[in-house]
Chain A
Amino acid sequence: MSAALTRRLEAFAPARGGEFARFAGFVLLCFAASRALHYGVYLWGAVPGGRSFAQALCQFDCGWYLHTATHGYDAAPHAHDAGDAANWAFFPLYQALVALVAALTTLPALLAGILLSNMLAIATCLLAFAYFDSAAARRYFVVILSFAPFSFYLNAVYTESLFLFLVMGGLVALKSGAFLRAGGWGFLLSAARPVGVFFCFAMVVAMLREHLRAGGRWLAFPAHMLRRPDLITAILFSVSGLFGFMVYLHWHMGDAFAFSHVQRAWGREIGNPLAVLWDALGANDLSLFLARDHSRQWCAAWTLLWFALAGVLAARRMWPECIFAVFCLVVPLATSIQSMPRYGFGVAPLLIAAALVLERLSPGPLRAGLVLAALNIPLLAMWFAGHGGLI
């Protein structure tokens, strides 16, 4: 084992080795319980078409991820009624990892993706050990990832688990002032999802915070940055995943912005996020959700909850987390209210805020887990049944 690796392991788990082992045991217990719950709901629910558990977990965009993992990126649009949809909207990192896991394990892409998502979700929880100072908060964080409404996305072939993992890794790096390492996490984030690129703003805010803590002044910050080319490199590197994908798209099919342009096939176009939210709140279409269809009001209610959690981050002056969370909400909201419940669940700072709220309320991990699971079960049953409102 190299000396560097030994030092890193010692830094992570020296005096807290026993505490970490207990925490890891708690994580595994929660995940085992939640996956057993998922399987129980699958057995109890009426899954159409006699689909297997893995197939029932694979709904909607899952098909796009599997298609990309097995066939690569499309040369031309081919899907949807209008024939105008292509997989350029889906950033490459998750599908590349699915293909890698499938190749290494010889599993079919669907099972490889489910395995990958679960491993990443567990790894996210383990990173919480390094992020949270409070033992209670990190346990609530694990409970949320295991049992909260929409947590089933972490058991499916979706990018939520990868995105959560990368953001937690990046936040842990920012917390320890390791900006170059944070740039590396940012690079992966910007190759995983379009909004991953906004992690660079969290980095800048964290750098500013450190500058101010060291006695620096606001106005001196730009000059300070110019004297620190390592920090500039970290920021530029953190967005390079996006630029790499753009170059690939140009050489593959001719349009570097195809990931954005193809959003037309999903009816998405940039607008005023406040107007989108306001219209959705007044849509009065909640009954559609009960009829297994997309409800704008349902999505708007969840969006308000996500913004409230971003407010918790602001109240606690967790500015890097808050800035990143707001970008991750506002940008997709500007295009449509659809999918906002899922997008919000995939933003780690919002789940961190929820864990901090639960820590304040202190219901205990067991009671919190039971309440969250009770809320999640109906959604999970709807997911297995292919409920269009959960896309």
Chain B
Amino acid sequence: MIRRLPWYLAALMLAGFQLYALYLARNPAVDIDYRNYFMTRSSDCWPRAVQDVAVIGQPVRVSASGAFLACGFARPLGWGRWTQGNEARLRLRFTPTTEPLVFRFAAIARAPVAVEVLVNGIIAQHVALQPQGGVFDVALPAGTVLGGQTVIAFRFAEEAPPMGLQWFALERAN
């Protein structure tokens, strides 16, 4: 028994270490975006960091640039990008202003699709998008304009056809 004791202690230490690792695994220290995307998979949208600053009045062609695309967009094609999954997000930073702004975007669809446009997580507009596409304006709340940043999300029903985003811009409302 005495000769076995060090082995029992070694086994106990290893088991303790492994239980500690499992305890850590049960208690992750991650943010809500990571949890929703990687752990529960309740979101199709991984919000990657966006560093660029949008210039008011200057359209951004998404076929040429991935700037401001936070998540949910496929690779660029000649005319723009298709969305992927149930949600696609843009993260815009811009110089704060007191003037009212609108978010303007041009989009097409493979088939008629209903799109919810959310500004900072709140539904701002419902768009019935047709295959021939169109240009749409979404008013930005005054608080967003003063803060100099906003998250625009396009949300779709399950199994809905994707939306093709061609360009977008921040424009003065008047």
Residues of A at the B interface (CB closer than 8 Å) are 76-78, 81-84, 227, 229-230, 232-233, 236-237, 239-240, 243-244, 246-247, 250, 253-258, 261-262, 264, 269
Contacts and interface: CB of A to CB of B under 8 A. Distances in A.
Contact of A250 (B15, B25, B39): B25
Interface residues of B, number: 30
A264 B34 contact: no
B172 interface: no
B48 interface: yes
Contact of A239 (B18, B28, B84): B18
Nearest to A82: B46
Contact of B29 (A232, A243, A244, A250): A250
Given A247-B24, A250-B28, A81 B75 contact: yes
Contacts, number: 87
Contact of A83 (B4, B18, B28, B48): B48
B17 interface: yes
Given A82-B84, A250-B28, A243 B21 contact: yes
Contacts of A258: 38
14 contacts: A77-B46, A78-B48, A81-B74, A232-B7, A233-B10, A233-B11, A237-B14, A239-B18, A247-B21, A250-B28, A255-B30, A255-B34, A255-B38, A256-B28
* Shortest beta-carbon contacts, A-B, top 10: A83-B48, A229-B7, A256-B25, A254-B29, A236-B14, A84-B46, A261-B38, A243-B21, A250-B24, A246-B21
Contacts of B22: 243
B11 to A, nearest CB: 5
Contacts of A77: 46, 48
Nearest to B72: A82
Contacts of B28: 250, 254-257
Given A229-B10, A253-B30, 8 more contacts: A77-B46, A84-B37, A233-B14, A239-B18, A243-B18, A247-B21, A255-B34, A257-B25
B53 to A, nearest CB: 19
B71 A82 contact: yes
B82 to A, nearest CB: 11
B136 interface: no
A256 B23 CA distance: 9
Nearest to B17: A243
A84 B14 CA distance: 34
Nearest to A263: B38
A255 B25 CA distance: 6
Interface in B3-47: 4, 7-8, 10-11, 14-15, 17-18, 20-22, 24-25, 28-30, 34, 37-39, 41, 46
Contacts of B15: 236
A262 B21 CA distance: 18
B23 to A, nearest CB: 9
B88 to A, nearest CB: 11
B41 A264 contact: yes
Contacts of A250: 21, 24-25, 28-29
Contacts of B48: 77-78, 82-84
Given A232-B11, A240-B14, A262-B38, A254 B25 contact: no
Looking at A76, A247, A256, the one whose CB has the most chain B CB atoms below 10 A away is: A256
Interface string B48-81: 1100000000000000000000011011000000
Contacts of B37: 84, 264
Given A240-B14, A261-B39, A229 B8 contact: yes
Contacts of A246: 21, 24-25
Contacts of A255: 25, 28-30, 34, 38-39
B143 to A, nearest CB: 28
B65 to A, nearest CB: 14
A308 to B, nearest CB: 35
Contacts of A256: 21, 24-25, 28
A68 B55 CA distance: 37
A257 B15 CA distance: 18
Given A84-B37, A255-B38, A262-B38, A236 B11 contact: yes
Contacts of A243: 17-18, 21-22
B17 A240 contact: yes
Contacts of A239: 18
A229 B12 CA distance: 10
Contacts of A78: 48
A81 B71 CA distance: 9
A77 B48 CA distance: 8
Looking at B34, B41, B49, B72, the one whose CB has the most chain A CB atoms below 10 A away is: B34
Nearest to A262: B38
Contacts of B84: 82
Nearest to A254: B29
Contact of B7 (A82, A233, A262): A233
Contacts of A264: 37-38, 41
Nearest to B4: A229
B7 A230 contact: yes
Looking at B10, B25, B37, B74, the one whose CB has the most chain A CB atoms below 10 A away is: B25
Nearest to A242: B21
